[in-house]
Amino acid sequence: MGLDHIPADQDWFVPNASMAGPFAPTHSEVVAQDLQVIGDLPADLNGMYVRNGPSPAHAPHGKYHWFDGDGMLHSVRFQGGRATYRNRWVQTDGLKAETEAGQSLWPGLKERMPEGALPDDAMKNTSNTDVKFHNGTLYSMWYRGGAVYTVDPGSLTTLGKLETDPRLVGLQISAHSRVDEATGEFVFFAYGNRHPYMHHGVIGADGALKSLVPVELPGPRLPHDMAITRNYSVLHDFPLINNPEALARGRYSLEFRQDWPTRFAVIPRHGTADQIRWFEFQPRYMLHVANAWEEVNAQGETEIVMLGTPYANPRGYDGGLDVQRLLFTIGTQGTDYELYQWRMNLTTGATREGIVDDILNTEFPMINTRYQGVKNRYTYNVLMGRPRTLEQPHFAGLVKYDLQTGAALAYHPGEGYWFSEAPFAPRDGATEEDDGYVVGFVWNGLANRSEVWVTDARDIAKGPVARVILPQRVPHGFHSCWVRDDQLSAARVA
């Protein structure tokens, strides 16, 4: 195994539930080739898996939350049956300032903000949440919204900020934006604690901002994701908010207003503010969308269908929503989800919604990205384990849903393994939606090491066909993407 090791300038460990085991930070940037493989890496798997996640570069002061860590990208490049691993911190403005100071400077999610400062102003944009490939580069993003950092897909070197237009400067772009491979467009939303509280925008395949539209909300909200179809975007307004009084004092305090509906805004991708249509549903809260598409029903009416994994609504003894239990689950990173569907009729304005699966507890849905915005048959979700401790969500396995037949296949190797969000990777020359692999990091707690597992997408239940042993721990993290070999070649990545 060849290893190019860049030593870290400090070695520290702070006892904390969110900094132990698979959550413990990594302090080195490395490049490793000719990695050991258990099984056989498929020769027709060519491309790059890259995942974002937190790994604090400096010892935090005060209480540490898993979401606070500095963004670190980890990639595995697959070429001709061989794998190369590398990782690098995203060099955000905040990380640069802390590196110069030699210590942590910003408060974390559990800390009180400076007097009079909104959390948006006082928290560091760690760029630790999601990563997308667009216009030849990787985009690294933060869940609270902020500047998007551009990263070279080959070296993982931070190139700068995505500020190709003056209107993007200072805009709090959310981590969960979408890339339409059919048009090459990057569709995003931005949100924050200042009026109008949300924006919708589109960046073209050439990197130029094509549209930016304000989306009026009644007040600050906590959206997390969005959806796109071929012609529309779907933006979220859930009844989960920060308590206004606490927010004014620089603190987070979640409230769920069960008397408010869930609202979805449907806007033509290149539309204007006056074209936004709102659809109301039962009060729920959701983090991640699987996909959305346009569908013509038996009456010839166009519906937008959106599939996602909202939190299950816990019920009290009286059958009503147990709001405190829901807030506790959300606030402590508990895992209790359902696969759910919403339908919005663009012709009549009617809505429908319902549970697709409330048996398997799954989240972090991924699809074959060629089907982004059009009707897909399969989703690949993380199987969530039962919580053992607070603030340590256990990603316990994988589930493949067949939306056409209603079937689900699950794989769970037993105690001691922690999975990551696992994107679909098409095999070379694939013609069918599920002709390929599911690729993701796995923390092997039994062997105390990180691995990359490659699983045949058509036979999830059999487990991995290959396990790549990594040279260092990959801390438990968030979102990922697969970049095909032809995309890397177009971006001139060697």
Q: How many domains does the chain have?
A: 1
Residue 415: how many other CB atoms lie within 10 Å: 11
Query: Out of 247-251, 268-272, 404-408, 421-425, which region has the weakest mean confidence (pLDDT)?
Result: 247-251
Interatomic CA distance for residues 466 and 323, integer angstroms: 44
CA 37 distance to own-chain centroid? 27
CA 109 distance to own-chain centroid? 18
Contact present, 239 and 224 (Cβ < 8 Å): no
Higher-confidence residue of 189 and 163: namely 189
The domain of 112 spans 2-490
Give 12's pLDDT tier (boundaries 50, 70, 90): very low
- Rg for the chain, CA atoms, rounded: 21
CA 473 distance to own-chain centroid? 20
Mean pLDDT on 150-165:
96
Give 388's pLDDT tier (boundaries 50, 70, 90): low
Among the listed residues 68, 198, 209, the one whose alpha carbon sits nearest the alpha carbon of residue 134: 209
pLDDT higher than threshold 90 for residue 467 = yes
Q: Would residue 438 be called left, alpha or beta, if left means φ above 0 and alpha means ψ between -120 and 50 degrees?
A: beta
**Claim: this prediction has a pTM higher than 0.75:** yes
Mean pLDDT on 154-176:
94
Contact present, 334 and 378 (Cβ < 8 Å): no
Query: For the purposes of burial, counting CB atoms within 10 Å of the CB of 411, is it exposed (0-12), middle (13-18) or buried (19 or more)?
Result: buried
Query: For the purposes of burial, counting CB atoms within 10 Å of the CB of 376, is it exposed (0-12), middle (13-18) or buried (19 or more)?
Result: buried
Structure token digits, residue 446 = 């039994």
For residue 353, the domain's CATH number is 2.130.10.10
Interatomic CA distance for residues 358 and 384, integer angstroms: 13
H-type helices in 110-267, by residue range?
119-122, 244-248
Q: What pLDDT, on the 0 to 100 scale, is given for residue 10?
A: 43
Q: What percentage of the chain has pLDDT greater than the value 90?
A: 82
pLDDT tens column, 44-83? 999 999 999 999 999 887 788 999 999 999 999 999 999 9
H-type helices in 116-159, by residue range?
119-122
Strand segments (E) across 90-146:
130-134, 137-141
pLDDT tens column, 129-152? 999 999 999 999 999 999 999 999
Residue type, 161: K
Mean pLDDT on 297-321:
95
pLDDT tens column, 469-484? 999 999 999 999 999 9
pLDDT tens column, 80-104? 999 999 999 999 999 999 999 999 9
